[in-house]
Structure formats: structure tokens, C-alpha cells
Amino acid sequence: MKQKTIFLIFIILFILSACGQKDPESFMVSFNTSGGTEISELVVENGQTFEQPTEPLKDAYIFDGWFTDTIYSKPYNFDEGVTKDITLYAKWLADSALQINRMDLDAAQIDVSEEMIISSKIDLPKLGELHGSTITWISEDPQVITNGGIVLHPTIGSDSVTVTLTAKLNYELETKNYDFEIEVAPISEIVILNSTSLPFSNVTSEFNVDSGHLMTYFGENSSIPYVDVQEFLQLLDGFLYYEDLELTYMNEIMTIAYEAEFDIEDEFGNIIDTETESFLMTIDFNLNTITVDQLGFFDYYVYETATEYGAGITYLDSYVEEGQSVTFELSPYRFDLVVHDGKYLFPFHIANLLFTGGSYYNVYFNGNNYTGIYAFPDPSDTVGSTEDGIAFNTIKTSSYNGLDIPADLIVATYDMLAFTLDYFFGLKEERGTVTHYDLLKPYNNTMLNGTTDGLSDGIFRFVTKTLDDLHSSHHFPGYYELKTTKFELTNIAQVGPSVRRWYETLWDVQEVLQTTYPTNTDNLPPNYRIIDGGKTAIIYLDGFHTATVEDPDGEDSNKYMRETLDSIFAESMNIENIVVDLSYNTGGNLGALLRVLGYMTEDPIEMSYLNPLDGSRVTYFAEIDTVAYTEINWFFLTSKVTFSAANLMASIGQQMGFATIIGTQSGGGASSIIPVVLPDGSFFHMSSLNVLSYREGNDIDGYTYYSIEHGITPDYVLEVEFIQTDTKIIEAINNILN
């Protein structure tokens, strides 16, 4: 029985084996022509050969045989029989002569240099007209013509410039360069050809400015708005004292003059006299220059804001070292002043920057209308539920949203960015910058590639990284972008090295706070804590705020300090020392800061500024109508995060001697900020010319002023890891007092 089973299995295996060894009758031969003309598949009987098919054709290539692999290392032998399914691959060699000939024909059709260039953009073809060669352009001098064809003309009165543009043509596997000599004309004086009346509305409650219309002028094929100086200033009556301005005209010269009265007060705050100071601006429409006898010209024709940022503060007599006159030259930046039909016309954005920008007020032009705004419109408030949100939605809603930006507006935006930084960036002199055009060069082929996205991205990256300044920040792109378009910081590589170091300390401080206060809201310290057996209180202060007209119940540092101090002394009558924790304080408004300092000294607060543009120096003395706790030993706790107004608080406390600084060197930030609107509508702010300082010297020998841009050295070092350690803070106080 067992033998029969084995025999049966053997028979089955033999049958299966015989079936598996049966040869197929035919095989399939396929041809992969790699873009050449198609060749049909063949069915070839097992072991038989087949004739080589007709050679395929491929434009601009030469057929070089059939191969059995994709790297063309194994040519197929047509004398061998076919024993399996196969795919043959066509190998091609470039027909170099033909490809180059076609590039030559395409290059011959390129016509970009017949006449001297006077436009803001050259249309550089990307494909050959006859054969479709791909074309990449490289400019010999991107400071005159960028790779994208944007033209930066020599200034008015200069000679023309010849630039070589190289067209790199590629056809299939061949590449060849072709040079074109382009002569670029100097920019010409603008000729006004049309005008239109555009509406103006004011959307801030800080100034009472009536709605109206502003006549707007344009040159031929130009997108740059011009406005009459007088009409612009008159429109803004309510923001500025228009009736106080005396405007005179004589041919190509216009002057604006006014006088300002200043009260002289005695030591008790009583007005005992007044003095008058005169201010003058001279505008030369022939030379394209604007000269002010002093930069203070822009300060004293402006109304006070509705919010009383100076409430409770009386400014006493000040110490002033007058600066030099300043001349703003527009020609190097390709801007032109124009007298047209009795109108004295400014490029609108230059007028806005000079006459309004330093006050936080701006007039925003979005192609359809003008809007008066204050400070920083809020792009996060998309429904316009707040005044800042209403401002953003108003100015960014335009018929130009999503359209291609004109080339002349790209150039004007680029030029005004350089102009603004060269004259108004407070860190220019300190950094040794001659002109910001030099710093903009690496961005030319991005910012000036001819597209809205390129311009917006270039401005964002320049402001956030190259300026490398915590007081410089990008808010939103211009009105050619969609309202929803945002540019945001998402990683530390987007900022410069100085800002990066600040953030690294910020993270260290945040880690200390998270470790120390894991259960507190946002891991922040309590408003105050009392330590050392009731002798010492620590007040946490993370900013300086003033409740506004729009939000009277909003954050207010004066109220916060008053209520916190009341609570401290209600809890302990034995308080001898108060530490104000500024280690996580990034600043705020100066009015709030001064009112906070009023709780620490009865002496007038001394606050100094220097101006690097005109060389002026000034020291103000501010009397605060708050009863100070002068019997208390005051200490300020600082870190590198302690910035701007908090940095100033450390400086004032140290220089005036009423506070001792504990911690590490503060973060600096000497300049106030100035909001800037560029011609494309991009909005950012930067360090201004008002550079906070301290002074050393006396009235007889004179004073030397020192910027506090790089922070304040502490009197007693306490490393960041210990800034929330009460025992270390007590140890520091004891070492200082003993």
C-alpha cells in the first residue's frame, strides 16, 4: 500500500514537471523610442530573429542604435534569436549643429536694444520666437538693469549707461550665450499729463480730520501719484495746524514757515513766560531739494493726540544743543519735484513721509483713495471689529488687489526704501552705512524681478534680516497683494544675528518662568510677591501701556503700579526694598514709563536724545504729579530681553541714582520707531532718528551724549537662571546695601 502511494506521487510530479518545461510559441518585442517616432510592437516566434525596424526620427537628434538597457551599455544583436519578452531602447545623439542653428535663429529674433531705453522695464523673452529655445537673462550690471528686466535709470542730468545683457539660450542638450548691448537713458523730468480727484477719509480717533478729496496727478504711462503740497497740507487740517503755516512761492522755489510758542515754567510748574521759535522749509523744484533749518520743523505743527499720553507729566525747561540744517536730495533716488500749471507737486509718498510719518500718523494710498491712519493697522482683525482692524480692511481693499504691479511702481518702492533708510534710519551712522542701496544690492533680482511677489518677499526679508534691528518690523505687504496675503517669521534663520541673540535669551527667560511658575497663567509671575520676611517686594512689570480713547479700560501701567503698590503696603508695613522685575519687559510708550518712574523719585525725570542726522542734542526734564516712595530702596531686575522703554527705565534709574540695576546687560533699543508706507503700499516700521541717550558733563564744560542702543550694564550681575530665585535676589540686595 505504501509503495503504490509513492508511485502515484512520482507520476504526478513527472506530469507537473513536463508541463512546466513546455516552451512558449512566441515572445513580445517592444520599442521605447524616448520621444522619437513610435514603432509598433512585434510578436516573434521562439528562437527566431527579426529584422531591424526602420530607424525612428526625433527632431534635432541623430539615432544611435537599439540597446537592451536604459544606460545604453548593451547594444542589441539582431542576429540572435528571441527567447523572451524584451524592450529595446533607442539611443539618441544630439544634432548639435541643428540645435545651435535653431538657437541662432531664435537669438536673431530677440530685439531689446534698437533704441535707448527710457521705460522702467524691458520685456525680455523667455522662449525663442521660432523654435522655442528657453532663454535665461543675466545682466552685467543689476544696478542698472536687473535679470528680470527692471530698469534703474541713471539720475536726472547724468549720462546714459550701456549695459550688456546676456541671453543664455538652451535647446534640448545645447546651450549658447548671446550678448546684447543696451543703452539706458537717464531718468527724465516728469511731465504731468492727467489728474483725477480721489476721496480721502480719516479712520483714526486720535486726530479730528475731515473727509475730503485730493487732486492726484500722474505722468505719461506712470503709476506714481503726485499731489500739490498746499492741497495736501490743507486736507490734513486737524492733524496739523494748517492756518499756522505760511506758504510762499517764487518761480521754482517754495517756502513753508511757521512759529511755535513754548511755555516757560518755574520749578512749581507755573507758567512765567513764553518764547517763540521760528521754523523754515525751503523747497527747490529745480534742484529737487528740500531743506529744513532744523529737523524740529516736522514736530511743532502737529496737534496733540486725543489719547493723553502725556497726562500727569509736566515738561520743565530743557537743555538743547541745536543741530545743523538738513537738505533732502531727491535726484539720487530718482524722485522729481514738479511745478505744473501753478501747482507745486510732490511725489505723494515723499510728502506723506516728510509731513506726517514722524508723528505715527500716515495717509495711505491704495490706488483708489486716501485714508488717514494712526500707528499700526491690524491685519489679524479681518472683520474690522477694532479701529486698527477697520483701518487695515479699509486701506487693503482695492481694485488693484491681485493685479500685476507696474514696473515704475516697483522702482519707486525700491528707491523710496533706500531714501527713507538713508535719511531716517536711526542706526545708519552707528553702523557706518553710506547708502542703503549697497545693502539692497543682494535683493535686486528678487525685489526687482518684475513681480508683486518678488517685491513683497524682498522687502520682508530685507526688513526682518538685513536691518537686523528689533525696532524694525514688517507689518504687511502692499495693496497689489491680496488682502489675505501674509509674510510671517516662522524660524530663527529669517532674522539677523543681533535679533537672533535676543531671541535666544528670550527663550532662556521663558524657560526660567515656565520652571518657576508652572501653574500660573502663561507661566508668568504674580503681579507682586513679598519675600525676605516682609522686607522686600518684587513687582512684575512686562510692558508700558496707556489706556487709549478707543479703549479707556485697557491696560494702563500707571493704574497697575498704583494698585500694586497699595496692595503691597496693605500686606506689609515693613517694606524696605522694592524690585521692579523688567527681565521680561520689551518696552512700550514713554508716557507710561515716565508715570511709572514717578513712584520712585520726586526729582524731575531726566531724559536725553541725540539725533545722528542733524547732530542735535536735547535733554528734557519731566515732572510727574505722583507722590514717590523715596524712602524705599529701588532695584530694577534686567536681562537682555529688557528692551526699548524698559532699557530706558534702567538707564534713567542708574544715571539719576534712584535705582540699582541687578541682572545682566539689558537688550538696548535706543530709538523710538517710525511707521513707513512705501509706494506699493508695503507697511513696516524702523528705528527713528530720536535716539535715547544719557549724558555726562556739566553746563560749564559741556556734555557728551551716549546712545543706549547696546543696553545698560548692571550694577550687580545676576545670571538669567537666577532671575526668579528669591534667595539669590535677597543675596544681591544684601550685598549691595551692605
pLDDT digits (tens, 9 = 90+) for 31-84: 999 999 999 999 999 999 999 999 999 999 999 999 999 999 999 999 999 999
- CATH code reported for the domain at 25-93: 2.60.40.4270
Write out pLDDT tens, residues 83-101. 999 999 999 999 999 999 9
The C-alpha atoms of residue 124 and residue 4 are separated, in whole angstroms, by: 90
pLDDT confidence band for 15 (50 / 70 / 90): very low
Q: Is residue 286 scored above 90 in pLDDT?
A: yes
Number of Cβ within a 10 Å radius of residue 498: 14
Closest residue by Cα to residue 151 from 444, 357, 375:
444
Sheet containing 716-717: give its strands across.
Answer: 528-531, 536-540, 577-581, 633-638, 659-663, 716-717
Residue 11 has pLDDT above 60, yes or no: no
- 112-126, 209-223, 441-455, 664-678: range with lowest mean pLDDT: 112-126
Domain with CATH 2.60.40.4270 in the chain: 25-93
Q: What is the pLDDT of residue 316?
A: 82
| Sequence-ordered list of residues with C-beta below 8 angstroms from that of 734, at least 6 positions apart, any chain | none
- For residue 178, the model assigns a pLDDT of 97
Percent above pLDDT 70 for the chain: 95
pLDDT at res. 466: 97
- Give helix then strand counts, H and E, for the chain: 15, 33
| CA distance linking residue 385 with residue 399, whole number of Å | 23
Give residue 113's pLDDT: 72
- How far is the CA of 720 from the CAs of 123, 507, 511, 522, 639, in angstroms? 57, 11, 10, 19, 7
CA gap 392, 370 in Å, rounded: 13
Average pLDDT over residues 468-493: 96
pLDDT of residue 13: 35
pLDDT at residue 219, as a whole number:
94
Q: Which of 16-25, 413-422, 423-432, 648-657 has the lowest mean pLDDT?
A: 16-25
Task: Tell me how far apart the alpha carbons of residues 178 and 107 are, in angstroms, rounded to a whole number.
Answer: 7
307-343 per-position pLDDT tens digit: 887 778 888 878 999 999 999 999 999 999 999 999 9
CB-based burial label for 429 (10 Å; 0-12, 13-18, 19+)? middle
Three cell numbers written together for 123: 520685456
Q: CATH 3.90.226.10 spans which residues of the chain?
A: 507-670+708-737
What's the confidence (pLDDT) of residue 268?
A: 59
Average of per-residue pLDDT across 563-575: 95
Q: What is the rounded CA–CA span in Å between residue 373 and residue 356?
A: 10
Say if residue 136's pLDDT is above 70. yes
CA distance 576 to 653: 18
Q: What is the mean pLDDT of residues 117-139?
A: 95
The rounded mean pLDDT for the chain is 93
- Alpha helix positions (H), 126-243: 229-235
Q: 19: pLDDT confidence band, cut at 50, 70 and 90? A: very low
Where does the pLDDT of residue 22 fall: very low under 50, low under 70, confident under 90, or very high at 90 and above? Answer: very low
Confidence of residue 6 (pLDDT cuts 50, 70, 90): very low
pLDDT at 261: 84
Residue 170 has pLDDT above 70, yes or no: yes
| pLDDT tens column, 350-378 | 999 999 988 899 999 999 999 999 999 99
Per-residue pLDDT at 693: 97
pTM comes to: 0.88
CATH class for the domain made up of 507-670+708-737: alpha beta
Per-position b or e across 384-401, b if 16+ CB within 10 A of its CB: beebbbbbbbbbbebebb
Rounded CA-CA distance 605/418 in Å is: 37
Contacts of 12 (CB under 8 A, 6+ apart): none
Instruction: Determine how many CB atoms are found less than 10 A away from the CB of residue 8.
Output: 10
